[in-house]
Homo-oligomer: A and B are copies of this chain.
């Protein structure tokens, strides 16, 4: 499966959070990063090029900072241009039918404020309804939004956890059940091992994978045993 990130950010170079995310996917062959403001500095979107890009990917991610409860304007322009034209529609629905669609949104305000009575009154899910409606309209599977709140306040440990969540969001199986997440983690650890030259590091990875696998096996046996009751 290949993932396409449509990234919209007018000042990408100076965004710490975006640089953090973008750097983590540089070597990932399954992820294509497409930064709209770099590709289209004049704001004129090429519909054909973009539609071809969509066709060769199975998971489409919009990644952007939350500006007034929505994306920067260029991503909206992209939608209005790319979600149209006769080539967008096929007898089986739009060229997006059957694909997965998710959002990675950087938000400057604490998650706590996005609820009834909070400073922002509405949840992120309510404020991103237009994207959910697009997924529905296009017959895409909508992934739960990955909201990154107040990145600059995160501790180093929280940033590391975010990296895992982000990588999973881009390449893991959805829904993110425990068994899907475990399989993914083992797969990722083995990938790191294959690329590594360090015997010590690889030994550590082996031990971690063994530990995870044995716990996974234990869990399966417990589930089987519980079936009898």
Contact = CB atoms under 8 A, between A and B. Distances in A.
Interface stretch (A24-32, A130-138, A161-169, A172-180): A130-138
A108 interface: no
Interface in A47-91: 67-74, 76-77, 79-80, 83
Given A68-B80, A120-B136, 8 more contacts: A43-B43, A67-B76, A68-B83, A69-B130, A69-B134, A73-B76, A120-B133, A126-B129
Interface residues of A, number: 26
Contacts of A73: 73-74, 76-77, 80
Given A120-B136, A120-B137, A136-B121, A129 B69 contact: yes
A133 B80 contact: no
A94 to B, nearest CB: 12
**Shortest 5 CB-CB distances between A and B: which pairs?**
A69-B130, A73-B77, A73-B76, A73-B73, A69-B133
Contact of A126 (B43, B80, B126): B126
Interface of A: 43, 67-74, 76-77, 79-80, 83, 120-122, 126-127, 129-130, 132-134, 136-137
A79 B71 CA distance: 11
Contact of A133 (B121, B130, B132): B121
B127 A122 contact: no
A70 B129 CA distance: 10
A120 B133 CA distance: 7
A127 B133 contact: yes
A80 B68 CA distance: 7
B127 A127 contact: no
A126 B126 CA distance: 7
